[in-house]
Amino acid sequence: MKNGLQKFGKFLSAMVMPNIGAFIAWGFITALFIADGWIPNAKLASIQPYMLTFLLPMLIAYTGGKQVGGDRGGVMGAIAVMGCIAGVGGFDGQPMLMGAMVMGPFAGWVIKKFDKAMDGHMPAGFEMLINNFSVGILGMIVAIIGYFIIGPFMSTVLAVLTAGVNVLVKAKLIPLAAIFIEPAKVLFLNNAINHGIFTPIGIEQAKEAGKSIMYMLEANPGPGLGVLLAYAVFSKDKVTKSSAPGAIIIHFFGGIHEIYFPYILMNPIVIIAPIVGNICAITFFTFTKCGLIGPSSPGSIIAYLSMSPKSQIPLTILGVLIATVVSFLIASPIIRMSDGKSLEDAQDDMAAKKAESKGITVDPGEKKDADKVKKIVFACDAGMGSSAMGATKFRNRVKAQRPDLTVINTSVDNIPADCDIAVVQAVLADRARKSAPQAQLVIINNFLQDPNLDGLYEQMTAKVDPAVQTAAAVEEKAETPVVTRNSKILVEEGIKTGLKPVDKFEAIKAAGKLLNELGYVEEGYIDAMVKREQTVTTYMGLGVAIPHGTGDAKKNVQKTGIVMLQYPEGVDFDGEKAQLVFGIAGIGDEHLGLLAKISEIIEDPERLEQLKTTENVDEIMEMFK
């Protein structure tokens, strides 16, 4: 049940989150220019209903269709949702956000099935004709289904849900929603609730009243802030106490609520604090008739206040303060009386729950004592780019304190039997457990910038005998091989700067095409790069992506090569922006030296920024010497 809700929430989130900017734009236009806004302007306010009725549903439907059926699925989704919008009367009907969440994926599925049926049966010379007419004809049919069935049905569902919420609001029972919201956040179920229910109902209420309390329920940063403040003041664990102030900044101003989840997991009973804090805040908002005019995303105090009506900003601040104070007062005695687990253990628990939220249920294994760990293996699908970069960066980070550690990389299906700790991305955790049943798993999102890598560093540098470090350092100096860099691996022709943003798969194909043009790979390697990205993201963190082929595509590699594509405005890799896309094809370990150099450069913020923005190819080549 929980896994089903988590997958559902993740699917909804993937449709909504890429378009949050459009929601914010709609919210700002509403807040600024409507009759009761900051600077009323009837002409500019007239933009708002067009965005709500047409733009937002079309963006969501396009994104949902593209998720399922690629670019053709996106176009199908946009066509299909227009049927829903027309079916409920356009401006006179309810906003079709929920309809878009249904029609987009459905339309993408329809065209995906058609394309699969036509695979290998397309008459030569008729490809473009069939591709265009199939989208047109099937799009028309799905739009008609949306007009007569899906649109009216979703309108009824939304009306029922809205009526139910209105009953709860009138009965003053809406604060009880916090009992479900706060645990859901820690269990990564919040997206199913927030994007599946709160946002559509909030938009319907805001359309009529100009604001909605639904936007305030999950995004309030106060409950989490109270917990973090309590840890900053009363935690007995020095590591936890010293980490809390930084977490406060990230949570309160950055809006990344996920940062406080490990602090809840350390002492699960602490969950009472944000629950009661949010109940008090929602009660206050209910009695003062507060609401936001649009979604607050991310849930930072800046976004929260920017979506508040001008006249209610003091009340909104007071509501956040109430949640913070109540949460702090309840959490403080619990934290003072409880030893709890360490922050590192809690982060491991959070990683496991995050993997579970993606449908992956893997036991990370018992945490190993630092002095018993001799080998750490970073593993990715092919063992070529992502894991190599991650291993290099972590090796450089830990070698001063733990020169006795061996840190290597490999493919996830070939983790050696003497591996003590395996570092893998969440979607590869199942394969890693089968490959290395003896190892502790550290489950991450990306290889360069992940909280669980910080936890691993703390784990490896705690309570290690200095004599062992010294002896191991001498041994490592004698045994560490020297990896040379082949100057022909990266050439001037393999560097492209100042490129305009594109879809991530287009960027990956462009990198593969350049590898092919320079003679590094055969054409079939390009498809393998796309397939690799569909399995697990090649985004590394810090604005860097390293797409490469799957393990079985090594047969398509003619010689080792690396190309660099620079996108100053960034390419969207599932919500992360990559300004640098390094396409890699490797034979053996020939490319590792250059990867080590890339790792060295990106650890220097100034050089990394220079690499992301300079248009001078000679300057880039000089950096890699």
Residues marked active site are found at 380, 548
Q: Identify the three-state secondary structure at position 590.
A: coil
Contact 130, 87 (CB under 8 A): no
- Please give the C-alpha separations between residue 620 and each of 382, 423, 491, 608, 617, in angstroms, as whole numbers: 27, 31, 10, 11, 5
> Which bin fits 172, alpha (ψ -120 to 50), beta or left (φ > 0)?
left
What's the CA gap between 103 and 100, in Å, rounded? Answer: 5
The answer to whether 348 and 367 have CB atoms below 8 angstroms apart is yes
Q: Could you give the dihedral angle defined by the CA atoms of residues 520, 524, 526 and 528, in that order, rounded to the nearest 10 degrees?
A: -110
Question: DSSP labels for 359-375?
Answer: T------PPPPGGG--E
Sequence-ordered alpha helix ranges (H) in 171-292: 178-186, 190-193, 199-209, 214-217, 222-234, 238-252, 261-266, 272-287
Give the Cα separation of 185 and 259 in Å (integer).
11
Handedness of CA 271, 274, 276, 278 (dihedral sign): negative
Report which DSSP code applies to 616: -
Angle, in degrees to the nearest 10, between helices 524-535 and 504-517 = 150
Q: Are 522 and 558 in contact (CB under 8 A)?
A: yes
Written as six digits, the tokens of 399 are 């070698």
Alpha helices in 399-465 (DSSP H): 429-435, 451-461
